Structure 1
Amino acid sequence: MLKKKMAVLVSCVVILAGILSGCGNNGSAGSSKASTYKVAMVTGVGGVNDKSFNQSSWEGLTKFAKDNELKTGSDVKYLESQQPTDFAPNLNSLIQQKYNLIVAIGFQMQTDLQNIAQQHQDQHFALIDSVAVDKNNKPLKNVANLTFKEQQGSFLVGVVAGLTTKTNKVGFVGGINSDLIKKFESGFKAGVKTVNPNAQIFVQYAGDFNAPDKGQNIAATLYGKGADIIYAAAGNTGNGVFTEAKSRAKSGQKVWVIGVDKDQYDEGLPENVTLTSMVKRVDQAIYDASAKAKAGKFPGGQVLQYGLKENGVGIAPTIKNVSASVLDQVKKYQQKIIDGSIVVPTTDKEYSTYLASLSK
């Protein structure tokens, strides 16, 4: 009888141990998951497949996932924003899902991110294209600010446009008229005028980063005015510029598009309308910030700038449609910008001053 009771007792102990072991396994899985560094991003309104800014950002995160053996869709993922009112809910959702680093794609998210980051000071964030600050205008300690010298890369594609145009008329299509896109515009115009003082430059904004139909209509207007090259810094809206250029190319008109953010050569096919692109390495910036944060070196409170010197901006690697002589000029001006002998304008006022200096 005693043996029987002992057997039952041992059996209960084994069962209890199994239960505790199961709990321990769950805890172990939880800690395992906690030890897995999780990164997510909230897209701008153009969506992850905008073939430009958001897509480049996601490519940076997927490379980070691959290099660190993380699972896309869980350890590393994105939430899409269809409109600005989606920003805050998406950011809060990722906080609740306990992502270690949350990346906000685009300056339009600054206000929402600032509010949320101050409410969750232990949460790490990264903000692209702007600086998150507190009420005293000081960078928030839990936000890494990743910014670019877009004006420098835009100057170089302006050099390409100024030396390539046959009509002596070029265009610029912007998304939202803002300090950020003014950097693209000002740099582009400065590059054009530096090498071609007599060129006429048309500028028009769509007021939207996710309206390819507006981009197409604006492109039709600018091409109709005689522009044979258009630089589009407008996210998904810029895809409409490609649509219009390809349509005209089919009817025999020779026009070009200069892409933005990533190498958009393929967007001009099969009609071959992509002259070049101004590459903005947001993918590399996000990768770098994620890697630093994972290694315990999160650059919170810092404003990191990526320009020509840092290989953060520049001419796209696909240069099939740019002549060797033009590329030589691009290299010359690139070095002048890097060594500081040319300071590229970022605003209307700086552009006016720069333009005046060219005539001296």
Structure 2
Amino acid sequence: MRRGLKISLVTVTGAALTLSASACGGKKADTGKDDGDGKKSLKIGLAFDIGGRGDQSFNDSAAAGLDKAKKDLNVTTEEISAKPDEPDSDKESRLRLLANKGYNPVIGVGFAYTTSLVKVAKDFPKTRFLVVDADQCKVTGANVKGACFSEEQGSFLVGAAAALKSKTGKIGFIGGVNVPLITKFQAGYEAGAKKAKPGIKVLPAKYLTQPPNFDGFKNPALGNEAAKGQLDGGADVIYHAAGGAGIGVIKTVGAAKKWAIGVDSDQYNQPAVAGAKEFILTSMIKHVDVAVFDFVESVANNTFQPGTKKYDLSNDGVGYSLTGGKIDDIKAKLDALKADIVAGKITVPTKP
């Protein structure tokens, strides 16, 4: 049954964050306010990764899950975005701020929140916490949930698509930041390409930045330059796993009339790449939206269970898009590969 809809969006400034986060931790969580019929409405606090809502990739997928919760459940929300190159203490302060203000549940979007979220959760035992992309797929705490994804499996399928569609026999990969999470995308992509077409040449992977510089997830100019380099190397299909910086990749590849492969969200109809949409071959879909909604719903229904949940091909937690019809002719081949992965006949590597 659909319950009443309540929406409350609040913009939080950095000054407010600093001021409020200095409050003492350990405040008893309020599970929500009475909506007038004796029921409590959930108050969801969500902290985005770098790029925030509007990145048309990873964060927007999380935002879609939050939006579904607003539509289908009785919730109010507050959103806060991360800052580039911020210290971990800022992530902790952001989560602590939300918990202190009575938001329950609290969600951290991105692997970089894992340590801070587990730490803060200890001080708020009555508050439920979710970290999306839990680092190494590990969390601790009776009130903590970790969502993790088999990005390598979805990337395997788009890698196969890239190899099957390439005319030059050369394809490329561009990662945002050289961290273990993103190298999973590279590993799956390369393995899928070589499985589909053993003679394919995958150009050396290009990473836009090295940690602790995380501009590789937000600066389209970096994606643009990297794409030019791989195009010059003969690649006619390029897959990016670079968040907002990947917009630069798609635009540059599209301008060259070559194939681009999007990531996290279905990027075909996104406004930022409208001029290049006909050159988006497919996107590797990572259903962060489903993970966020599943978690909120579990708290609403009192079915929350701590620990981690893996989203992979077997439960459609990852996959690929068909928008635009560019890979309709090879869908049967991709589906056969998917079936073999789900059946355990193909094991997809997580390291290049």
With normalisation by structure 1, the TM-score equals 0.81
- Whole-Å separation in 2 of the counterparts to 1:282 and 1:239: 19
Contact in 1 for aligned 2:139/2:145 (Cα 8 Å) = no
Is the alpha carbon distance of 1:214 and 1:127 closer, same or farther for their aligned partners in structure 2, counting shifts above 3 Å? same
SS in 2 for 1:231: strand
Residue 101 (structure 1) aligns with: 105
- Whole-Å separation in 2 of the counterparts to 1:141 and 1:132: 18
Query: RMSD over aligned Cα, in angstroms?
Result: 2.0
Residue 339 (structure 2) aligns with: 335
Q: What is the CA distance between 1:293 and its match in structure 2?
A: 1.0
Contact in 1 for aligned 2:42/2:74 (Cα 8 Å) = no
Residue 198 (structure 1) aligns with: 199
Q: What is the CA distance between 1:256 and its match in structure 2?
A: 1.1
* 1:295-329, Cα deviation, whole Å (9 max, x unpaired): 111122x11001111010111141511141x1111
Alignment pair present for 1:216 and 2:218: no
Moved over 6 A (4+): none
Residue 236 (structure 1) aligns with: 244
Residue 52 (structure 1) aligns with: 57
SS in 2 for 1:139: coil
* 1:118-141, Cα deviation, whole Å (9 max, x unpaired): 2323321100111599xxx86222
Residue 129 (structure 1) aligns with: 133
Residue 299 (structure 1) aligns with: 305
Residue 314 (structure 2) aligns with: 309
- Whole-Å separation in 1 of the counterparts to 2:202 and 2:342: 25
Residue 151 (structure 2) aligns with: 150
Residue pairs, 1:77-116, within 5 angstroms: 77-83=78-84, 84-85=86-87, 86-116=90-120
With normalisation by structure 2, the TM-score equals 0.82
* 1:130-188, Cα deviation, whole Å (9 max, x unpaired): 1599xxx8622221000111111110001100100011111111112122111111100
- Whole-Å separation in 1 of the counterparts to 2:238 and 2:135: 30
Q: Which residue identity does 2:295 align to in structure 1?
A: A
Q: Which residue identity does 1:226 align to in structure 2?
A: G
Residue 3 (structure 1) aligns with: none
Residue 259 (structure 1) aligns with: 262
Residue 351 (structure 2) aligns with: 347
SS in 2 for 1:258: strand
Q: Which residue identity does 1:265 align to in structure 2?
A: Y
Percent sequence identity is 33
Q: What is the CA distance between 1:337 and its match in structure 2?
A: 0.6
- Structure 2: 5+ residue stretches without partners: 1-31, 210-215
Q: What is the CA distance between 1:285 and its match in structure 2?
A: 1.0
- Whole-Å separation in 1 of the counterparts to 2:275 and 2:50: 28
- Whole-Å separation in 1 of the counterparts to 2:77 and 2:34: 17
Contact in 2 for aligned 1:110/1:132 (Cα 8 Å) = no
- Larger fraction in helix: 1
Contact in 1 for aligned 2:322/2:328 (Cα 8 Å) = no
Q: What is the CA distance between 1:76 and its match in structure 2?
A: 1.9
Is the alpha carbon distance of 1:132 and 1:126 closer, same or farther for their aligned partners in structure 2, counting shifts above 3 Å? farther
> Which stretch shifts more, 76-85 or 178-187?
76-85
- Whole-Å separation in 2 of the counterparts to 1:240 and 1:36: 40
**Count of residues paired in the alignment:** 306
Residue 287 (structure 1) aligns with: 293
Which of structures 1 and 2 has the bigger CA Rg?
A: 1
- Whole-Å separation in 1 of the counterparts to 2:225 and 2:130: 35
Q: Which residue identity does 1:143 align to in structure 2?
A: V
Q: What is the CA distance between 1:246 and its match in structure 2?
A: 3.1
Q: What is the CA distance between 1:270 and its match in structure 2?
A: 3.0
- Whole-Å separation in 1 of the counterparts to 2:34 and 2:333: 56
> Which stretch shifts more, 115-124 or 89-98?
115-124
